[in-house]
Each structure stands twice: as structure tokens, then as C-alpha cells.
Amino acid sequence: MADSPPPVRLTIEGAQVVVPRGTTILEAAKQAGVLIPHYCYHPGLPVAGVCRMCLVQIEGIPKLQIACATPVAEGQVVNVFPPEAVEARKGVLEFLLINHPLDCPICDQAGECELQDYVFREGRAQTRYTPTFAKRFNPVEEFGPDVLYVPNRCILCTRCVRFMDHAAGDAVLNVSERGDRALIGVHPDRPLDHPWSGNVVDLCPVGSLISRDFLHKARAWELDKTASICTGCSQGCNIGIETRQNTVVRLRPRSNDAVNRYFMCDHGRSHYRWMNRGDRIEAPLVRQDGALVAADWDEALRQSAELLGGAGGDVVVLAAPHASNEALFLARAVAGPRFRGAFRVERVADEHPLPGVPGLALRGERAPNVKGAEMLGYAERFADQLAGLRKASVALVLDEALDGIPTDALAAVPHVIYAGTMLPEAARGAAVVLPVTTVAEEDGTLVNRDGRVQRYFQARSGPGMARPAWWALGELRATLGRGEPLGSSAEAFALLAAEVEGFGGLTYEGLGLLGAVLGARAPAGVTA
Amino acid sequence: MQATADDQPVFTGDRRARLDAIRARYPTKRAALLPALWLVQEARGWISDAAMGEVAEVLDLTAAYVKGVVTFYTMYHQHPVGRHFIQVCTTTPCNLCGAEGVIDAFLTQTGCRELGATSPDGRFTVVEVECLGACGFATPVLIDDDFIESVTPENVPGLLQRYP
Amino acid sequence: MGFPHAPHPKETVVLSRHFGDAEARTYAGWVKRGGYAALTQALAMKPAEVVELVKASGLRGRGGAGFPTGMKWSFMPKEKTKAHYLCCNADESEPGTFKDREIMRWTPHALIEGCAIAMHAIQAEVGYIYIRGEFTEPIRIMQAALDEAYREGVLGANALGSGKRLDIWIHRGAGAYICGEETALMNSIEGRRGNPRIRPPFPAQAGVFGLPTTVNNVETLTSVPAIVAQGAAWYQKLSLSNPKSAGTKLFSVCGHVARPGNYEVTMGFPLQELIYDMAGLRPGRTLKACQPGGSSVPILNREETEACRLDYEGCVAQGTMLGSGGLIVFDDSADMVYQIMRLARFYAHESCAQCTQCREGTGWTVRILERILSGKGAMSDLDLLLDVGEQMTGKTICVLSDSCAVPVASGIKKFRGEFEAYITGARKPVLAVA
């Protein structure tokens, strides 16, 4: 086994810190609980060292040094807040504000703006760049179908340029001109339409690169943010769902070094409007006099249990590969010994990798839980099972929208229990309809293509009487006498982990916010 | 400067051969960018967005990258200029020796009237530039590729006559 | 000097010996004048021996930084495991400086010889001479000389029959003062925007194309052949004051002088003799100020000028720097405020835009100075200028930012009255700014 070099011990703002050799002072400071103000530095991008904001004092070195590019040294004593460094950073902020317009009232970044944040912390109360000096003015530019560039606000940190060049491998953004005339630019023949280009909006510390989709939709401080997992494909990028008054207004990546580092693709990012759809099933439905009528949960569950309990033949579960592990597991449980599980998934030919992050791509498999479905006993044989429905007793449809399925496709089976979010034509012949919540409206877990089990959390409340599928199926299971009712998705997961190989040893607490790979004995996830 | 038709590629024939010879001097294709841009300007008189695209393709770079480089260096023209391009230094050492009078003389005598503008007859463009590195020979002036020393307002008319 | 005037008796003519002599430009003419003998001698020495020789001579970088040349060469890896490069800095753009142009257009082979010796010392097979784009005549002359050198077998696969490969190419700049900064120069050779690099890594470890590189100024390299031919001791003796500053230097004297040009004197030469006796003031004028080392060094008033010795330490003793040796002279007719504003405009125009302080600070400095010159300034503007300058100093990737602050700070310190005259209205505005 090779000897790794010994770690380095240094002092940052009076706190002793021990870090691996080669760590920068800025990263080491995080361990000491000190956030050194910075703009151009980003852990997912190569170091630039241009904003000059992270200037710190290192004892024994006369000039201030930039923390983002200075490696730690044994015995170093670093001071972040001595007067000289504070003055220097105050100077940087003042320089940034001489041309940066006072756009806060109309700027989307307000409330989550790093320029605002550091100016409030360390900047001058009043600028000395008097009103008689004109600020630089350039009109807003459309860089691409979604990304707008407001040149006046740009602080030339170059994160966007470095992202497109090094992470996306497609240098379509440049720095143009020189001095205080410099701007970010594109070439007219190549707009910013790369499949991962939306990340530049996240990376921009100020409101210079903004999303047309999000333009003037909400104020940052109005947003509630919840950890979740993107359902656009099987990569399982960690995201945050951001809502305003229960409406999802934005999806943004959440960092996870093992999956998506700091990024998400444009397809996933824009894939949220469906979470706000109003045409939802809002109450359980049962059949009465040949028509579906609203009922309460007790009645709907009673009738469902009767159908499942009395099933003499196969119980086919047609599940969508975005259903949670908990729901898939419990659906199999209520289906009993004659369970036949099937799913179908949209497969697109092209994948769109982010070359700078190995193993990260917008996958051709356009669903988040294909692996989970497979591990829980479902096969990608949707068409077959559909064709063979006449041999089954009950069809339990779990969150499948049945797009493109002929309206009489489910007619062959005697009884259909439809658990879903919207009611398609093909399901109108169902015996019972159970309104369930979407991934945005419940807690649960999904398994990505690399076998990582990841938690998602409830970001908004579901409509009407919709309940999580795990709850409804858990009640069914209890009614069928196959176990106790479940009080939480965590309990459902615990049940799953006890019974399904590969999930053994995993708990919600252990999964935390970063998940864990299946088959690992001890959970690898780090709690929040 | 001889112009080639704008819709034709620049790097064909002899010019392509020259570029290939230049590329051989460096271990990367990117390093041939500044020389390649000089070749384009020699051929066309300026560097258009389309020409930047051609250079990008020849050197395996993106057009945006090439544009970032073109806009950094002041000697590359991003739009057409007069038949004769006049650069007058007015930085402090020359400024002390009357450079502003020289540039005024050029503006008046060429009919350009404004820095950066081309004269109505398309013959001249006059720009003010920073130190030309000939401070002891104030005021130095570049007209096209001719580096002319010790220019005074008095010899401006005679000088201009040499550039039809 | 040699061109355009005959050398002054007080000069010590070494580098400028053949200035004005058209025949010296040719290979044959150069050899006739003793050229390429030093290269022949150097190629017979081991690279490390050449490095030691230059170290012993005390030669220091003539581009502005004054870093000991032999020491810089010794930073290159001793064991060559990858390609090494020499870059000759012929970007000469420091206002007041025009010596490298003269070296190239009168003694191109001297530069080639200096480059070749340096390349041998640092074990480089390829050298690039980065010539600023505006130097059309030096480019033509250097290219012709290189063509001759190849034809005559001085360069190429078997340099002077030594078995070593020496290739030198010209890389033409395109209008950017900042490309005179050595890491920006390397980026420009690589086909990038001329942005200076953060250090470490240093050029000797990872320079052009990420490979070990040494960047030297034209005058520095041209000083090398004579050192090889005549020895380190000879070069050391060419100093009037101080062993830390050896040899001769070309001082580009310009501005308010009667006979501008490049004067070659030994280190330690009295600055006032250069101005009063050799270049001479214009008739009826008195000396007000000067910048001995280009526009980026602190301005000296008359007293300081008269006390100053022209070597690295002597200039520091007077609160300025030797820099590039671009000596800008201001006589009593000079408007210091206006000229300082024009310098600030220069720096604002040339800022590469990477560092916040430089990008925004240079423009702000210009605007405050323009405001003062248009009669709309306030006394607080002077403190503001000094404070902005303070924030532009010692905090950026390169020193262009500091260089803008320096003439402003020294100008306000020593010529405050001229600034105040514009502010109080004692002097009428010379600009009309909104």
C-alpha cells in the first residue's frame, strides 16, 4: 500500500485545521467553519484567481494572498479578517459596484445574490463613485433559448466561460474586449444551447446570467426549497425543488460528489411544469351504477382489498418507473403470490454527457427508478403483460399515465385498480381509482442507474384527498391482513430493506441527503 | 492589402501552405491562432465573424474562442477600415512632444473628422493608439505597414499624398 | 547612441556600437565585426558553465524587473526530460522605452546570437521572439536576419556544426502592452488572450505549453555575447557605483529634451548628466520632473533627479526604480496633471480585465482625473485617488494595476499644487467632460 503524504496542520482564524496536502486555504477554511468571501472560485471548476475577493493574510508573507489558489503549508497561520484584508475586500466590492447597476428591485438574483451578501457583510455603506460618472451600459443579450445575459451586472468572474469550456467541453462563451469594456460573449453562429448550459445561470454569482423561464416569476426569499431527485432520466441528479405558495417554480441542482457534483442538465431543469398540473384526481373513486363516483378512502380501500383478496389468478402490477421503491415494494406485497410486475420506459437514442464530470450524462433511459423497479421484481415487459391481461384476475396500475395505450386495453382484465395522479381514458373502466401524490408531494426513495438509493422529500402539498402511494398500499396490505399499517415512508423503507436483498442495512437516516450504493453493508450516505 | 472575395475561404492555396508551415513551429494548433488571424487580415483587410468561424475550424477551436482572442488585441480590425489605416501615438512621451497636434492634423487633412471613422471617400481611417515604442522619434505614426518617425503637423499633408 | 546622433563622449558604447551602421545588419557584416564568435565559444561550453558565467557577470533583466539573469536561467531543470523553451520579449510597449527596437533594427544578428547562447545554456531547442505587432520594420529586419542565419547554418538542425538543434521563430503580437508581462507573453504565444497567469507554477517549471520556459528581454539577451567573449569580470567592471548593478544599459531618453535617443552608459551613471549634458533640455527650459524607468516608476522632482544614480539600488534610494530605462523628461512647461491623466488612460486601455481592481480602478482613476482637468474636481478627489491607488496596489495577478497607481500617487505627492490649481479654478480647465 502506497504511503500517502502526511496531512498538513495549520491555523485559520485561530482554529487548528488538519487537511490533506494540496488543499487550498479556501477549502481548508471551510473546515474551520470560515467562509472566505469569493466569486470566481468554484469547487467544480478550474481555479482562475481573478476576482481578488478571497485575499487573506498569511503571517510571514507581506502581501495578501488569494486563498483559492494558495495551497496550505505546515504551521501556516492564516487570518481572514484582519483590517488589511477586510479593507482589501471592501475595495474589491467598491470596484465591482462602480459599474454594476442598482438593479436589485428588478433583478431576479436579489435575495440569493453573492454581491448583495458580501456587500452587506463587508462592503461600504456608500459608494464614492459619484453620480456624475456614467455607469457602463450595454443592452441585454439572448445567449440562447433560455439564457439571458445582462452585461451591466456582470462581474467578469468567468465562471460561465470556464464551465462551458472545461465542464461542458464546448467553449461557446468567451471574454470579449479588454479592461472595463470587457464582457462575456458568444459567436453569432453558435448560441448557448448546449444540453447542460442552464448551469451557467446557477454559477453566476449575480443576476447577469438569468433564466428566461424563471424571469420575474418569484423573489428568492419567497421560495421554499426542498431536497429531491430529478425524475428526467436514470442519472438521479440531486436537485432542489423550489416552490412559491405551493407552486413549483424552479428546479436547481443540489451538490452530490458521487452523482452530479454541482450540475443538472437542461432537460431535467425544465421538467417541472407537470408538477403543477391542476387536472388531478382529487378524490378516491368507486364504481356505482356503472359510473365512477367520489368516495372516501375507507370505502375505496375496502373495495380494493376485496378485489385483491378475492383474486384467483394473476395480479398484474403495471407500474411506472418513476414510482418510489416504497410504492413498488408495497404494490408487490398487496398483489400477493400471483404477482406479475411490469413497466415500460422511454428510451432515447442519444445521451448527453457532461465531459468534465465522468459518469454524468443526460441518459437515454428517461425515468428515475428503472433499477429500483427491476430490483423489486418488475420486468420491462409492459406490452407483453398488457397483451396477457385476459389471463389475469386484477390489474393494479401504479402511477402509469397510460399514454398511447388504446382506451380498451385494460378491458380484458376483470378488475382494474388505478392508482395515479390523473385519470386517462384507458382507466375509465377501472373499478377503483386511488388518487396518489407525485414525487414532489411525498417522501420516498429511488434507485439511479448506478445503484444508488437516494431519498427525496415532500416539496409541496398534493391536491384534494391525494395520498402517497406507499400509504394507500400500506393500508391495503394491512386490510389484507399481511401486516400492520405504516405510519411513514421510513417504515415502508425499513420493511423493504429487511426483505429485499441489496437494500439490507440501509435506513432513511443512513441515506441522508446523499444516498448510498446498494449492496454496501454500512450506509455510505452522510446525514444532513 | 489585397482583398479576396468575402464568400471564399481564406486558407486555400498559397495561404494555406503558409499557415501549415506556421503550424509546424508550435506543438499545438491553438498557437497558430495569432499568425492565422494576421493572414486573414492580410487577405481581407479585416476579420469578420465568418472568417473567425473559418479560422476556428482550421485550428480545431470554437468560433467563440477565436472571437475572444480577436477582440483582445487592438490591431485586429473587427470591421472594414479605410484603404489606408493610420495609427498615431499620443501617450505621454509623445504627448509632451505635440502628438495631439499631429492627430488633429491627420483628422483634418484626411477628412475623417472623428477618430475611428473612415473618410467619406473610403481612403483613410485614423485612430489614436498607445505607445508605439519610438518615443525618441516623436511623433511616430503607422500608416498601413509603414512605420514613420518624427511626424509633425507640417509634414502630414505630404505624407498623405504617398497613400492614394 | 550611434543613431540618430553619433555617440556622446560620456557614453560607454557596447550594445549600440553598430547603431546606424547598415552593414552590421547583414550576416557577413556582423561576422566581419566579430559576430558569432561568442556563440561558437558558448556552444563548446557545457550549458551549466554558460549559466555560471552569466551569473558571475551580474547581468540583470533589462526589461524592467531587473531579475538576475544567470539565476533565472538556473531555475530551468538541470536534467532535461521534456522540451525547454526560450521566449525573447520584444514586446517593448512601456511608454518612454524604445531601445529594443533599435537593437533589432540595427543589430538583429546580435539578438540572434544572444538568443542562441541562451538557448544553449537552458537546453532549449526552440526559441520564439515575440515582437509587438506594430514593429513592422524590426519584424522585417529580424526575419531577414533569421533567414540568413539559417542559410549560413547558424540555426537549424546542426547549429554551427555543434550537432545541436536551434530553431528560432518570430511570433508577431497584435496590439497589447500586457503581453510584455512574461506569463501573458507565453499565453499569447499559445494563441490565447494575453492574460497574465497566477503563480505558481513559475515559467521554469511550467511555462509555454506547460513546459520549462525562460523569458528574457531583448537587451538582456543582446548583452550576453559580449559577456561570453570578454568575460564576467569585464562586465562587472562596467559599473560606476555598485557591484550589484553591472554592465551598460541603454537609456531611452525622450519627452522634453533637445536630442532624444538611446544613450548607453555604465550602471551607476549620474542621471542629471544624462539629462543636462547629453540629451539636453530645450532652450530656455528648466527641468521639472522625470521618470527614469518608463511610465510605471515613481515620478522624480528636480532635486531627486539631480541626486539620482542610474542603477537598480540608486534609483530605489531616490524612491523610484530603474525599470526599463525609458527616461521620460518633463520640463517646466509640462502639465503634470494632464500627462498623468494620459498615463492613466494608457493603463485603462491596456488592462487585460482579469482582476477587479485593475479593470475597474484604472477607468475610475481616469474619470476622476478628467473631472479635475475639466474644472469639476474637489479636494476630496485627491484623497480618493490615493485611496483607489492603494486598493490597486499589491493585490492583483500582475503589476499593471500598481503601475497605474504609481505615477498618480507620486504626482499628487510631489506636484500637489498643480492638481489644486485645477480644483480651485486657479488654472482654467483643459477638458470638457460631462
Question: Could you read off the pLDDT of C144-177 as tens digits, one per residue?
Answer: 999 999 999 999 999 999 999 999 999 999 999 9
Q: Is residue A525 pLDDT above 50, yes or no?
A: no
Query: What's the mean pLDDT in A217-235?
Result: 98
Q: What is the predicted pLDDT for the residue at A127?
A: 87
Radius of gyration of chain A (CA): 27
Q: Is A390 on the interface with C (CB under 8 A)?
A: no
Q: Is A73 on the interface with C (CB under 8 A)?
A: no
**Sign (positive or negative) of CA dihedral A250, A252, A254, A258:** positive
d(CA A143, CA A149): 6
Report residue A57: phi and psi, to 5°. Answer: -100, 125
3-state secondary structure of C292: strand
Q: Give the model confidence (pLDDT) of C181-239 as tens digits.
A: 999 999 999 999 999 999 999 999 999 999 999 999 999 999 999 999 999 999 999 98
Which comes out higher in pLDDT, residue A311 or C19? C19
Q: Give the model confidence (pLDDT) of A412-463 as tens digits.
A: 999 999 999 999 999 999 999 999 999 999 999 999 999 999 999 999 999 9
Q: What is the predicted pLDDT for the residue at C318?
A: 97
Query: What's the mean pLDDT in C251-276?
Result: 97
Q: What is the predicted pLDDT for the residue at B5?
A: 62
CB contact under 8 A, B67 and A189: no
Q: What ranges in A113-257 are assigned the alpha helix state H? A: 114-122, 159-162, 199-203
d(CA A248, CA A320): 22
In the 3-class helix/strand/coil scheme, how is C107-159 assigned residue by residue?
A: CHHHHHHHHHHHHHHCCCCEEEEEECCCCHHHHHHHHHHHHHHHHCCCCECCH
- φ/ψ region of C255 (left if φ > 0, alpha if ψ in -120 to 50, else beta) reads left
Q: Is residue A3 pLDDT above 90, yes or no?
A: no
Which comes out higher in pLDDT, residue A311 or C157? C157
Q: What is the predicted pLDDT for the residue at A187?
A: 97
- Smallest Cβ–Cβ distance between B62 and the set A176, A188, A190 belongs to A190
Mean pLDDT of chain C: 97
Interface predicted TM-score (ipTM) of this complex, two decimals: 0.96
Q: Give the model confidence (pLDDT) of A240-259 as tens digits.
A: 999 999 999 999 999 999 99
Q: Is the peptide bond before C201 cis (omega within 30 degrees of 0)?
A: yes
Q: Give the model confidence (pLDDT) of A40-55 as tens digits.
A: 999 999 999 999 999 9
Q: Which stretches of A126-284 are assigned E, i.e. beta strand?
A: 141-142, 147-149, 174-176, 183-185, 209-211, 224-229, 238-244, 247-253
Q: What is the predicted pLDDT for the residue at A524?
A: 44
| A444 DSSP 8-state letter | E
- Smallest Cβ–Cβ distance between A185 and the set B53, B61, B67 belongs to B67
CB-neighbour burial class of residue C231 (10 A; exposed 0-12, middle 13-18, buried 19+):
middle
Q: Give the model confidence (pLDDT) of A265-307 as tens digits.
A: 999 999 999 999 999 999 999 999 999 999 999 999 999 999 9
Q: What is the predicted pLDDT for the residue at C1?
A: 82
Q: What is the predicted pLDDT for the residue at A311?
A: 85
Q: What is the predicted pLDDT for the residue at A528?
A: 33
Report residue C36: phi and psi, to 5°. Answer: 70, 0
Q: Is C133 on the interface with B (CB under 8 A)?
A: yes
Q: Which residues contact C240 (CB under 8 A, 6 or more apart)?
A: C266, C267, C268, C269, C309, C311
- Give chain B's largest Cα–Cα span: 50
Q: Is C395 on the interface with A (CB under 8 A)?
A: yes
B neighbours by CB contacts (3+ pairs under 8 Å): A, C
C331, C282 Cβ separation under 8 angstroms = yes
Report residue A118: phi and psi, to 5°. Answer: -75, -30
Query: Which residue, among A133, A152, A165, would best test binding to C if mutated, counting the most C CBs under 10 Å from its CB?
Result: A133
Strands A415-420 and A392-398: parallel
Q: What is the predicted pLDDT for the residue at C244?
A: 83
Report residue B95: phi and psi, to 5°. Answer: -60, -40
d(CA C200, CA C216): 19
Q: What is the predicted pLDDT for the residue at A527?
A: 35
Residue with cell 472571437: B67
Nearest CA in chain C to B141: C134
- Give the amino acid at B33: L
Which residues from chain C sit within 8 angstroms of residue A92, using beta carbons?
356-357, 391
Give me the DSSP letters along A86-146: HHHHHHHHHHHHHHS---GGG-TTTTS-HHHHHHHHHS-SS-SS-TTSPPP----EE-SSS
Q: Is residue C434 pLDDT above 60, yes or no?
A: no
Dig out the grid coordinates for A165 from the structure. 469550456
Q: What is the predicted pLDDT for the residue at A131?
A: 65
A285, A432 Cβ separation under 8 angstroms = yes
Which residues from chain B sit within 8 angstroms of residue C165, using beta carbons?
none
Q: Is residue A329 pLDDT above 60, yes or no?
A: yes
Count of Cβ atoms closer than 10 Å to residue A59 Cβ: 11
Query: What's the mean pLDDT in A65-80?
Result: 98
Q: What is the predicted pLDDT for the residue at A134?
A: 85
Q: Give the model confidence (pLDDT) of C363-387 as tens digits.
A: 999 999 999 999 999 999 999 999 9
Instruction: Show which of residues 430-449 on chain A sit within 8 Å of chain B, judged by CB atoms.
Output: none
Q: Is C342 on the interface with B (CB under 8 A)?
A: yes
Q: Is residue A339 pLDDT above 50, yes or no?
A: yes
Q: What is the predicted pLDDT for the residue at A313?
A: 92
Query: Which residue, among C89, C97, C98, would best test binding to B if mutated, counting the most B CBs under 10 Å from its CB?
Result: C98
Dig out the grid coordinates for A301 from the structure. 380501500
CA of C71 vs chain A CAs: smallest distance (Å): 22
Report residue C248: phi and psi, to 5°. Answer: -105, 160
Q: Is the peptide bond before C200 cis (omega within 30 degrees of 0)?
A: yes
Q: In what order do the strands lie in the sheet with A516-517?
A: A444-447, A452-456, A516-517
CB contact under 8 A, C176 and B76: no
